[in-house]
Structures are given as C-alpha cells and as structure tokens.
Amino acid sequence: MVDRFKTYIEGFDDKLGGGIPGESIVLLVGEPGTMKSSVAFNILFNNATQNNIKSVYLTLEQNISSLTRHMKSMGMDHDQVSSYLEIVDIGLVRQQLTDIEKDTWIQVLKMYIKNLKDRLDYDILVIDSLPVLDVLAKFDDPRGELFHLFEWLRGLGITTFLISEMDPDSRSYAKYDEDFLADGIIYLRMMESGGVSVQRQIRCVKMRATDHNTDFYTLMFDGGRFKTTRVIGDSKK
C-alpha cells in the first residue's frame, strides 16, 4: 500500500504532510470551472509518469474525447500514460443500456470498478461526478446508499477522489452526509479581487490522519504545472 499520494500541486503537498493518505476517500468540491477535473487528472497523470502508479478516471459528465482534449491543452497527453491511466465513460454505458432499473445503476458502477480493479490492479480512482451519479442512480436514500458505496470502495483498498459540485453561496460542502463520510475534503473556489480579476483558490478542509494546514492558497496553473502560493494580501509567511 502507498503511504501517501502526492497531488503534484507544488507547495500544496507540504501543507498535507506530503500528500493524501493511501486508501482514503477524498471529496474534491467546488463550483463549475474551478478546475476540479483538471486537478484530479493532474494527480493521476503525474502519479503515472513519476511513480508508475495505475489509476482509473471514471467520467460521467464529460465524454472521453472532450476530457482528453482539455487535458492535452494543459500539457497532460493521455497517450503518454494510457497504459497506467484508464478512462472509462459510464455515459456510454448509459446510452447502450436504456431502461436500466434504478437499483441496477449502482450495481453496474460497482461491477465496472471491481472488474477494472481485477484487470488492472489500480491504486487510485476518480469518479467525476457525484451529482451526475445521483441523477443516474436516483438515490432514494442518498445517505444510506452513499454510506454503503463508501464502505464498499474502502474494501477495495484503493484511494478514491469523488468530484462534487458546490453552490458558491452554500456553506455546506455536501448535499447529503458525504462530508462526514469522507476521509478528506479539498475545496476549490474562485475569489474576486479588486472587483475585476478573479483568482482560483484551494483549501484542505479535512484530511484524516494528517496534521494539515486549513488555509486558502492561490491556485495557479503555470508552465504545465499546478502551484499554490500565499493568497495575495495575506501577510502571513
């Protein structure tokens, strides 16, 4: 088991005691456009190129070509890591299997995740995104069903990043109880500064087994890499 997975966001791993603890479930939350998908893909891409770590990116929102095009424009060419990083489009399954019974959705999802685990023996899974999963699975009892899904994922011995949307005006990171159930929460937001420019920020809200810093940091993508710096105007070093 890998002790900690680096996020490969320069400056941020230090604030996390080196990275994300292995076998955790981490929510990656923020409003649209805050780069949740990019940050998640960046983790998988760099863990593949730097450490030969295998992963699966399960996309429910964006189709594979749209996702890979975006990532390539950011310098992360999927072709370079295709033997380590598998992208699965569950939306395609949805189109093929019309009329799927409600309960079957989570079963189909689990079957995919488990079969890929047996075939590839991957260590990191990204599910993009929870709100779309909710729409597909039509959870009757989201708390209970998410609790069981989280327990099941833990049983696989993998680290999961679950991408979720958050209303910028909301004060809660989760619609159900997934913030309590998750081992970690990383929050991404856009902040106006000076009434004109907007900067992206990142914050580790929660990370079990980690003595982490909870401050906001400016998140930048520069020269093909994510970086964090102190928020401008913040005098703390």
Contacting positions for Mg ion (CB under 5 A)? 37
CA distances 233 to 4, 84, 193, 237, Å, are 32, 41, 10, 11
Contacts of 68 (CB under 8 A, 6+ apart): 78, 87
Quote the CA–CA distance of 126 and 128 in Å, as a whole number: 6
Residues in 102-161 at the binding interface with ligand ADP, rule: CB under 6 A: none
Of the residues 37, 42, 46, 68, which one makes contact with ligand ADP according to CB under 6 A? 37
Sole window of 17-25, 69-77, 112-120, 137-145 interacting with ligand ADP (rule: CB under 6 A): 69-77
Binds ligand ADP by CB under 6 A, chosen from 9, 16, 27, 35: 35
Of the candidate spans 28-36, 45-53, 113-121, 205-213, the one that interacts with ligand ADP by CB under 6 A turns out to be 28-36
Backbone angles phi, psi at 74, to 5 degrees: -100, 10
| Contact between residue 108 and residue 94 where contact means Cβ atoms under 8 Å apart | no
Q: Which is nearer to ligand ADP, 33 or 168 (CB)?
A: 33
Angle of helix 130-137 relative to helix 104-120, nearest 10 degrees, comes to 130
Chain CA centroid to CA 84, Å:
17
Per-residue binding letters, 166-205, with ligand ADP (x by CB under 6 A): ----------------------------------------
42 binds ligand ADP (CB under 6 A): no
Binder of ligand ADP out of 34, 68, 160, 228 (CB under 6 A): 34
By three-state DSSP, how is residue 128 classified?
strand
38 binds, among Mg ion, ligand ADP, none (CB under 5 to 8 A by kind): ligand ADP
Angle CA 78–33–124, to nearest 5: 40
Q: Nearer to ligand ADP by C-beta: 42 or 47?
A: 42
Closest contact distance (angstroms) between CB of 72 and ligand ADP is 9
199 neighbors 193 (Cβ within 8 angstroms)? yes
Interaction of residue 38 with ligand ADP, rule CB under 6 A: yes
CB of 129 to ligand ADP, least distance (A): 8
| Chain centre to alpha carbon of residue 181 | 15
Q: Which is nearer to ligand ADP, 38 or 210 (CB)?
A: 38
Q: Is 74 in the site for ligand ADP (CB under 6 A)?
A: yes
- The answer to whether 228 and 218 have CB atoms below 8 angstroms apart is yes
- By CB under 6 A, name the binding residues for ligand ADP: 30, 32-38, 70, 73-74, 221
